[in-house]
Structure 1
Amino acid sequence: MNHDVLEKNLLRPATRSALDELTHVPGAQPRAPRGPLRTDQDVRIAIVHDWLVTYAGAEKVLEQMIACFPDADLFSLVDFLDDRSFLRGKPVTTSFIQKLPRARSKYRAYLPLMPLAIEQLDVSAYDVVISSSHAVAKGILTGPDQVHISYVHSPIRYAWDLQHQYLQQSKLTHGPKSVLARLILHYIRNWDIRTANSVDSFISNSAFIARRIKKVYQRDAQVIFPPVDVDAFSLCTQKEDFYLTASRMVPYKKIDLIVEAFARMPTRKLVVIGDGPEMAKIRAKAGPNVEILGYQPFEVLKDHMSRAKAFVFAAEEDFGISVVEAQACGTPVIAFGKGGALETVRDLSGPQPTGMFFDRQDAEAIVAAVERFDELAQRFVPADCRANAEQFSAERFRERLFAHVRAAVPALRGVTLPPYVQYVPNPPGLEHSEREGQHELPADLPRILAVDQSGVLGGAELSLLEIVKALRSRVEVVLFDDGPFRSELAKTGVAVNVLDAGVLKNIRKQGGSLPKGQALKGLLALVRATAQRARAADVIYANTQRAMVIGAVAGKLVRRPVVWHLRDIVSAEHFGGKQLAIIKWCARLGLKHVIANSAASAQAFAQLTQFDSKRIDVVFNGISAEPFDALRAVPQATLRERLKLPRDAFLVGSFSRLARWKGQHVLLEAMVLNPQMHAVLVGAALFGEDQYEVELHAFVAAHGLGERVHFLGFQHDIPACMCAVDAVVHTSITPEPFGRVIVEGMLARRPVVAARAGGVLEIIDDHENGILCTPGDAHALADTLAELRSNDELREKLVENGYRSALSRFGTQSYVDGVARILKDVART
C-alpha cells in the first residue's frame, strides 16, 4: 500500500450510510466521507462480515476485531441481530439482500446473489478493509491503494469439499434443480478463486483451515486461533461420574453417534445440551443413561462442563470453541482426531495431556475411546487442561490480530493496541444491582395473545404466569373462565379479558358430548371474540388443550400463527377418543409449532398426530426458587403451627388437585402400612372430581387414619406447605406430562418420591436427586418412605442433589428464554 496516500488522508475516517437502493452501480461516485471518528488515529478502517443473524463463533471473532479497532465501520450482507451488544452499539451498512422477501429467515436461499451483493458494498473510502469470512465477505471490492486483510473461518464449505453433502441434505442429487444447483456452485467456486487475488493478507483460524486456503487459493495464511472467553469459565478439580456433549443438533456435529455409543454403554452416563433439527432423531437413540437437556442458558452449560468427567466431541470442526471451553473448566476432551481439535487438544503422546482422539466417526470408535479414557483417566490433570485453554484467550487473539494488521499497514506501526473496555449497553446511572435484577426482554419480541381455558391456579396456569411476568409488555391474556388466576395475572399489570365459555366449561379431557345447537353458537362466539383480539397480535400462544382448539380456529380466521404449549400426554389414558380426534384435526388445521413440557409429552403428540418433529420443541417448565429460599430461615415448627399440623410427626406431603389419576389413594394405602407417619394432602377437587374426594375421606374413616391424614384443601402458599413437611410424594397412577410438584419439592429442599413414568423420568435420577417407585404400588411407596425416615444420609443426599438440579435445569430464566425464542421465531416466518 502507498504510504504517502495514507499520510495525505490523516484524520479522515469515513463510512457510507445504509443503501438507499437495492443495488449500487459499480463506478458510481462514492458517498462523501463523514467527519472524523477519533483524533488519535489516522487510518480509516472498514470491517466486513458475511451476515449478522446470531452470536456464534464467527461473531465472537468480529466482537474482538471491533475491540481492536473501535472506530472501524461495519458492513454485512444482512443484519437481523436481536442482541446487538457485541457490536458495541455500532450501525451496520447492509446489502440489497436485507430488503428481499423473507430475508430474515431465508437469507441462505439467496446464496446465488451473495457474490453480487458483497460487491455492491462500497468501501472505497477506507484505507484498510478487514473481512471476516466463511462465505463471501472476502470478495469485497478493494482498490490498489487499500490493504485488504481477510480472516477466513473457512473457504465456502458447501461450494468446495462439502458440496456433495450439501446437495444430499438439500435433496438436490437428481433432476433439473440439481443441475441448476451444481451450476450455481460451480460459478461460486470460480468467483471464490478469482476474488482471492484481491486479498493482500490471509489469516486462518487454524492450521487445518490454512491448508484449505493453500489448496483452494494457492495462498499462505498466518494462523491466529479464534478467541475463546476462557475467563468466563473457572477451573474445577472435582469431577463427577458423567460425560458431556454440547452442540447445535445438526448432522455434521454427529451428536447422534455419541448418543448411540453411550446407548451401548448403559453403565456410563451422558448429558446432552443443545437443540436443533436432529433432536427427534437423537432422542430416539437415547437410552435411560442418556439425559438430554435441550437448549440451556450459559450458566447451566458452564456448570455441567465444570463437573463433567470428560467432554465428548465427534465433529470435524475448523476449530471447535466448545473443546477449548471444556478445557478451560479443567475438563479433558475425547474428540474426533481430525480438524481443529488436533490443534487445541494435547493427546497422550506428549506431556501434560488434555484429552485423547478417536480416528473414525462411528459409534464403535467412540465406545473404544471412552473405555480407554476410563482406564487412563488419572493421566489427565485439570490444571493442565486449563493451562492449555488459556493460550486461546480473547486477549491473546486481540494481541496477535492487532500485531498482524499493524505489520501490514505502515501507518499503523506506531500505534498501540487500545485497552479492552467491557461494553455496557445499559443507560448511565443504572446501578449494577439494578441491572442484575431485571429480566432483559429479547429484542423484536412479537405481540402475543396468550389464551387459557381456566380461572383456577393449576400447574399450567402457574407456568403461564411466569411467562406473563417476564413478557408482560408484549402480552395480552384471554381466559375462558374467571377465578384466582385472573387476579394473579392482573397483579402483573397485563391486560386480561375473560370470555364466557358457556357449555365448554363442562367438557373434560376424558370425553363427553360435543356442543350442539345453541351451544355451537356459543362456541362460534368464543372463536370470533378470540379472533378479534388476535388481530392485534403477531402470534397466538395457547396454554391449554381447549384454548388450543379455539386458538387454532381463530388463528386460521385471522391468519395468525398458533403455538400450543402442550402440557399433557395426549393418550387414551388422559383423553377421550373425541378429544384426541380434535387434537389431530387441529394439528393439521392450524398449529404452527408445539412447545412440549417434556420429551414424554412431545413423543405422545408426535405419535398421535404425525406432526413434523422439527416443529416440536421441548422446554421444561420454569419454577422460581425465590419463594422457597425466602423460607429458609423460618423454623419448620412455625410453619406447622400456622397450618395446624403436628409438630413432631414425620409428615409426607402430596401436592395436587384431588383426582383419581393423581393417585392420592395410593399414599393413603401406604399410610396404613406405615403407622409412624402422617400424610398431608394439599389440593382440592377442581374439575368435577368431588366423588373421588368423598372416597378419600371414606377410606380415612374406614381405616382409622383420621389423626394421621390432614386434608388442607386448596392452598395459596405452596412453598410454606412444602417446607412444613418432611418428604414430598408424587403418586400419579398414569404417566405425568411433567411433574411440577417434583421440582417444587426439590426447591423446598425436601426429598422427593415419585411415580416412575412419563415426564418424571426426565426430572429424577433414581436415588440421586429423588427416588422412583412403581406407579400405583402402595407397598413399594411404604417401603421407600420407611427407608427415607430412617436414613438421614440418604435424605441429605437427595436434598442437596435435588436442589442443585432444580436450579440448573428448571430455572425461570431458561424457561422464559426458551418460550420467548420460539414465539419470536414463529412470528417471523
Structure 2
Amino acid sequence: MNHEVLEEAVLQPPTRSALAELTTAPAIGTPSRTASRDNKTVRVAIVHDWLVTYAGAEKVLEQIVACFPDADLFSLVDFLDDRSFLRGKPVTTSFIQKLPLARTKYRTYLPLMPLAIEQLDVSAYDVVISSSHAVAKGILTGPDQVHISYVHSPIRYAWDLQHQYLQQSKLTSGLKSAMARLILHYIRNWDIRTANSVDGFIANSEFIARRIKKVYQRDAQVIFPPVDVDAFTLCTEKDDFYLTASRMVPYKKIDLIVEAFARMPERKLVVIGDGPEMQKIRAKAGANVEIMGYQPFEVLKDRMSRAKAFVFAAEEDFGISVVEAQACGTPVIAYGKGGALETVRDVAEPRATGMFFDEQSADSIIAAVERFDAHVKRFSPLDCRANAERFSAANFRERLFAHVRAAVPALRNATLSPYMPYVPERAGPTANAPRILAVDQSGVLGGAELSLLEIVKALRSRIEVVLFDDGPFRTALDKAGVSVEVLDAGALRNVRKQGGSLPKGAALKGLLSLVRATAKRARNAQVIYANTQRAMVIGAVAGKLARRPVVWHLRDIVSPEHFGGKQLAIIKWCARLGLSHVIANSAASARAFAELTQFDDKRIDVVFNGISAAPFDALRDVPQATLRERLNLPQDAFLVGSFSRLARWKGQHVLLEAMVLNPHMHAVLVGAPLFGEDQYEIELHAFVAANKLGGRVHFLGFQHDIPACMCAVDAVVHTSITPEPFGRVIVEGMLAQRPVVAARAGGVLEIVDDYENGVLCTPGDAHALADALAELRSNAELRERLVKNGYRTALSRFGTEAYVESVERILRRVAASAKKSADA
C-alpha cells in the first residue's frame, strides 16, 4: 500500500546524549527486570514501523535514539543501507523480514502487520516508545510498562484518506477493491482497539492531534518533529526565482506548482527532487521552469537560501522543508491546510513568514504568487529564521525527554546530557562502500568514456576498470591513478550496434573469452558497472556466472534509429537475464529502454552526466586570439564549432549545408570517424570541395583539448539528425560560455530551454540552422543572454559532484540489496 510520511530531508549524523546511567540496557534476550529496578536502571525499547529509508519519521527516530542511546530497537523490517543515524544499533525484526520480496514489497504485507507487530516481545522493558505512522503503536505491553507513542499520523490510508488511496491505486470497483476495503476495515478496528494500550500520545502537530482525537478519542501532547535548522544559514539577499523541493509523488502536488508557473512565463521556478512523477512533471514544465532532479544537500541549501520564496502545495502532517526554507530566511507560499498552518505565519499576522492559498489548484497557486509579489517587502529573512528556530532538534529532544521523564516515576531525577556528535566506531565514509568493477568496450575518449572517467577518478580507491580495447581512454585512466586492464576482444570488436548479424565464429569465441575473464575479475567486486552497450552484454552474462548484480549506465536511446533489430533483441534479453538496475543519462533514454524491455520503473534512475567546469574556467583569461593561433584558425571570422565524432547521424553535413546558405561565417569540425565511418568523412570533404567551401571549413580531426577548441570559436552547434541520448557537447559549450544551437530532439530537450540558455532547431533542417546562426552573429544581446543562462544551467544541473554522488548512491544501494538477498 502506498504511503509517504513527512518531507524527505538531508541526512545528518546522529549523536550521543542522555540517561548515561539510568538507561543502561542489558543485551536483548537476557533481561532481568528485578535487577534493573534494584540498580535503579530503566530499560527502554523503541519501536518503529519499518526501516527502509531515511525520511521524516526516521529523523524523529534518530533524535529519540539520541535521547535514549542505550535503548533497544524493534521494527517490522530493517532493510537500511546506511544505518549511521541509528548509531549502528542492531534491530530486532518481525517474521515479515524473511517473507518473499519483503525488501521492495513490504507494504503489500499490510494485512499481516498487526500480527507481526504483536509478535515482537518487549515484555522485559520498563518504558516502550513507539514511533508510529502505521502499526508500531500496536506493540503489546503490560500493566507495569509505560507505553508512549509518538504518532506521525494515524494510518492515513485506512482513515480519512482511504477513498483517495483507493482512487490512486485504481481500486474503486471490482473484487480487488472489495478485498482492499475489507482489509482496511479490519485495520481500522485493530487500530482503535490497540489505542487503548497506549499510556500517552504525542502528536507531531496540532493537525495530527486533532486526527488522534477524532480516531482514538484521546488527547495528545504536541511536540513538533525535529528540523536541523543549524544546517541552514540565514541569507538576506534573494534572487529572482521561486523554489520547490520534494520527493516527486502524487500527494506532493509538484505538478500543480509546475503547471502554475508554466502559465506565468515571466516568473522563474526551480524544482529539486526526483521520484515516480518526474516524467509527468517534466511534460508540464515551460521554458521558465528549471527541473534539476536529485541534488546533494549543498545545492539544495544554496537554492533554498537564494530563492525569493519556497512554494509548497501538499497537505502535510508537518512539512519539514517548509521550516528548512524559513531557516534560510526564505518566506513560504503554502497550501493552507495541515501542518503548514502551524509552521508558517500568514501575511495577516505580525512578523509574517509566508502566505497561504486555499485550493490545490494551479489557479490558486498563481493568485497566491501574485499576492506574494505585491506584499514581498513585508517579509523579513530575520523573522523567517526566528520562526524556524522554534522547531530545532534541540527543542525536540528537550521536550520529548521532559515528557517521558514526567510519565515515568523512575526517571523523575534524570537529566538530558549535552548533545554530543556521534562518531561511528568504523572510521571513514567508505567503510561499508562496495568494490566496483567498471566495464567499457572502448579505448577511445568518447562522451561515455569521459563521463565514466569522472566516476572512476572519484572512486579510484575501490574501483577497477576493464576495457575491451586499448587507446587514449586507457592512458587517461592510468594518468588518473585508476587500476585498469585491457582484455582482448578479438573479432568481437568488429560487431557494430547497427550490424545486421549476430556474432559468429571467431567473434563468438571472443565473446565467451571476455565473459569468462570479466566474471573472474567480478568475483573481487560487489557490483558490476557496465558503461556501454557491449560492456552491458558481457557484464550481464558475467554477472550471472559470478553472482554479482549488474548496473548498466545507459547512454543510448535504444530504438531502431540507433540499433539494429537483432541488437535490440539482445538488449531486451540481457535486461531480463542479468540487469539489476539501469542508470539512464536522460529521461529520453529511460523512456526508450522501458518501452523496449518493460523494465520496472523502480529499477531505472535518470542521472544527468556530470561535466567539470575546471578545464573551461582555466582558459577564462586566455585571449581567444591566442587559442585561434594555436589551432591555425582565422582571427577575424565568426567561427561555428561542431564537436563530435564524424558520423552521419551526428549531422555534420547539415552544418556544411548551412555554410553554403550563410557565406559570412566559418565552420570548425573537431572530431574523427571512430567506428568504421571513414566513408562519411570522405563525403564531407567532397561536399566542401564541390561547393568551394575550402577556405571556410576547418577540419581539426581528433583533439585532446576540447575546452581550448570550444573557447576558440564564437558559437557551438549540435546537429544530430536522430534523437541524441544526452548531448554532452551542449553542456560543454555552455561551460565554455559560448552560445549553443542544438537539434530539437531526445535528451537535448532536457538541457536547452529555447532562446533562454540555447537555441533549438529542427533536426536536419539546414535552412533553420543557417537562420539561427545568422541571428546569433548579428544579435550581441541574444548571445550574451544565452551565454549567461547557459553557464548557470551547466553549473547547477550538470556538475560533477551531483553526478558522482548519484551514481555512487545507486551502486551502493544495488550492492547492499544483493547482499541482503544473498544473506537471507
TM-score, normalising length: structure 1:
0.83
Matched, 1:136 2:135: yes
Question: Which residue of the partner structure matches residue 683 of structure 1?
Answer: 671
User: In 1, distance between residues paired with 2:716 and 2:430?
Assistant: 35
Question: Which residue of the partner structure matches residue 4 of structure 1?
Answer: none
Question: Which residue of the partner structure matches residue 482 of structure 1?
Answer: 470
- More displaced 10-residue stretch of structure 1: 658-667 or 318-327: 658-667
Q: Render the CA deviation track for 1:448-491: whole Å, top value 9, x for unaligned.
A: 44333222111111212223333455544443323222333445
User: In 2, distance between residues paired with 1:718 and 1:308?
Assistant: 34
Compute the displacement of 1:31 (Å): 11
Contact 1:114–1:136 (8 Å) recurs in 2: yes
User: In 1, distance between residues paired with 2:299 and 2:752?
Assistant: 17
The amino acid across from 2:160 in the alignment is D
Change in CA separation of 1:590 and 1:695 when aligned onto 2, cut-off 3 Å: same
Change in CA separation of 1:289 and 1:724 when aligned onto 2, cut-off 3 Å: closer
- Given candidates 441, 448, 460, the residue that maps to 2:448 is 460
Matched, 1:302 2:298: no
SS at match of 1:316: coil
Compute the displacement of 1:621 (Å): 0.7
Contact 2:279–2:587 (8 Å) recurs in 1: no
Question: Which residue of the partner structure matches residue 324 of structure 1?
Answer: 323
The amino acid across from 1:402 in the alignment is F
Contact 1:30–1:122 (8 Å) recurs in 2: no
Contact 2:132–2:152 (8 Å) recurs in 1: yes
Compute the displacement of 1:738 (Å): 0.8
SS at match of 2:721: coil
Compute the displacement of 1:228 (Å): 1.8
Counterparts in 2 of 1:802-821, with a 5 A limit?
A: 802-821=790-809
User: In 1, distance between residues paired with 2:415 and 2:564?
Assistant: 73
The amino acid across from 1:399 in the alignment is E
User: In 1, distance between residues paired with 2:619 and 2:43?
Assistant: 59
Contact 1:19–1:96 (8 Å) recurs in 2: no
Matched, 1:624 2:623: no
The amino acid across from 1:334 in the alignment is I
Matched, 1:739 2:689: no
Change in CA separation of 1:770 and 1:285 when aligned onto 2, cut-off 3 Å: closer
Percent same amino acid among aligned pairs? 84
Matched, 1:13 2:23: yes
User: In 1, distance between residues paired with 2:730 and 2:576?
Assistant: 34
Question: Which residue of the partner structure matches residue 3 of structure 2?
Answer: none
Question: Which residue of the partner structure matches residue 217 of structure 2?
Answer: 218
Matched, 1:755 2:754: no
SS at match of 2:756: coil
Q: Render the CA deviation track for 1:607-657: whole Å, top value 9, x for unaligned.
A: 455544444321101122343344456565665555455667655433211
The amino acid across from 1:621 in the alignment is N
User: In 1, distance between residues paired with 2:247 and 2:67?
Assistant: 29
Contact 2:36–2:42 (8 Å) recurs in 1: no
- More displaced 10-residue stretch of structure 1: 785-794 or 223-232: 785-794
Question: Which residue of the partner structure matches residue 158 of structure 1?
Answer: 157
SS at match of 2:742: strand
Question: Which residue of the partner structure matches residue 656 of structure 1?
Answer: 644
User: In 2, distance between residues paired with 1:744 and 1:426?
Assistant: 43
Contact 1:18–1:92 (8 Å) recurs in 2: no
Contact 2:81–2:813 (8 Å) recurs in 1: no
Question: Which residue of the partner structure matches residue 149 of structure 1?
Answer: 148
Contact 1:450–1:478 (8 Å) recurs in 2: yes
Question: Which residue of the partner structure matches residue 49 of structure 2?
Answer: 50
Change in CA separation of 1:82 and 1:751 when aligned onto 2, cut-off 3 Å: same
Contact 1:15–1:34 (8 Å) recurs in 2: no
User: In 2, distance between residues paired with 1:31 and 1:117?
Assistant: 28
The amino acid across from 1:390 in the alignment is E
Q: Render the CA deviation track for 1:277-309: whole Å, top value 9, x for unaligned.
A: 333444455555544333222223233334444
User: In 1, distance between residues paired with 2:260 and 2:20?
Assistant: 61
Contact 2:23–2:68 (8 Å) recurs in 1: no
The amino acid across from 1:354 in the alignment is T
The amino acid across from 2:296 in the alignment is P
Compute the displacement of 1:808 (Å): 2.0
Change in CA separation of 1:213 and 1:688 when aligned onto 2, cut-off 3 Å: same
Question: Which residue of the partner structure matches residue 359 of structure 1?
Answer: 358
Compute the displacement of 1:823 (Å): 3.7
- Given candidates 574, 578, 587, the residue that maps to 2:562 is 574
Compute the displacement of 1:690 (Å): 1.8
Contact 1:14–1:125 (8 Å) recurs in 2: no
Counterparts in 2 of 1:484-523, with a 5 A limit?
A: 484-491=472-479, 496-516=484-504, 519-523=507-511
User: In 2, distance between residues paired with 1:334 and 1:663?
Assistant: 46
Contact 1:139–1:196 (8 Å) recurs in 2: yes
Q: How many aligned positions are there?
A: 799
Contact 2:575–2:597 (8 Å) recurs in 1: yes
Contact 2:322–2:343 (8 Å) recurs in 1: yes
User: In 2, distance between residues paired with 1:686 and 1:185?
Assistant: 61
SS at match of 2:420: coil
Question: Which residue of the partner structure matches residue 16 of structure 2?
Answer: none
SS at match of 1:59: helix
Contact 1:300–1:809 (8 Å) recurs in 2: no
Compute the displacement of 1:799 (Å): 3.8
Question: Which residue of the partner structure matches residue 228 of structure 2?
Answer: 229
Question: Which residue of the partner structure matches residue 400 of structure 2?
Answer: 401
User: In 1, distance between residues paired with 2:665 and 2:258?
Assistant: 43
Change in CA separation of 1:502 and 1:759 when aligned onto 2, cut-off 3 Å: same
Change in CA separation of 1:443 and 1:249 when aligned onto 2, cut-off 3 Å: farther
Contact 1:128–1:146 (8 Å) recurs in 2: yes
SS at match of 1:391: helix
User: In 1, distance between residues paired with 2:117 and 2:233?
Assistant: 41
Matched, 1:596 2:584: yes
Question: Which residue of the partner structure matches residue 432 of structure 1?
Answer: none
Contact 1:737–1:759 (8 Å) recurs in 2: yes
Contact 2:492–2:508 (8 Å) recurs in 1: no
- Given candidates 718, 722, 729, the residue that maps to 2:710 is 722
SS at match of 1:334: strand
User: In 2, distance between residues paired with 1:544 and 1:450?
Assistant: 10
Question: Which residue of the partner structure matches residue 6 of structure 1?
Answer: none
Q: Render the CA deviation track for 1:107-150: whole Å, top value 9, x for unaligned.
A: 43444454455455555565544332222333344455544332
The amino acid across from 2:349 in the alignment is G
Compute the displacement of 1:204 (Å): 0.8
The amino acid across from 1:620 in the alignment is F
SS at match of 2:196: helix
TM-score, normalising length: structure 2:
0.84
Compute the displacement of 1:369 (Å): 4.4
Question: Which residue of the partner structure matches residue 80 of structure 1?
Answer: 79
Question: Which residue of the partner structure matches residue 10 of structure 2?
Answer: none
Counterparts in 2 of 1:383-398, with a 5 A limit?
A: 383-398=382-397
**CA RMSD across the alignment:** 4.1
Q: Render the CA deviation track for 1:48-78: whole Å, top value 9, x for unaligned.
A: 3333322211122223334444454544444
Change in CA separation of 1:678 and 1:179 when aligned onto 2, cut-off 3 Å: closer
Gaps of 5+ in 1: 1-8, 21-27, 429-434
Matched, 1:197 2:169: no
User: In 2, distance between residues paired with 1:15 and 1:166?
Assistant: 41
Compute the displacement of 1:759 (Å): 1.5
Compute the displacement of 1:226 (Å): 1.2
User: In 2, distance between residues paired with 1:473 and 1:366?
Assistant: 49
Question: Which residue of the partner structure matches residue 62 of structure 2?
Answer: 63
The amino acid across from 1:722 in the alignment is M
Counterparts in 2 of 1:414-563, with a 5 A limit?
A: 416-425=415-424, 440-441=429-430, 443=432, 445=434, 448-472=436-460, 475-491=463-479, 496-516=484-504, 519-527=507-515, 530=518, 539-552=527-540, 561-563=549-551
Contact 1:17–1:93 (8 Å) recurs in 2: no
Compute the displacement of 1:733 (Å): 3.3
Change in CA separation of 1:788 and 1:395 when aligned onto 2, cut-off 3 Å: farther
Compute the displacement of 1:574 (Å): 2.9
- More displaced 10-residue stretch of structure 1: 602-611 or 147-156: 602-611
The amino acid across from 1:13 in the alignment is T
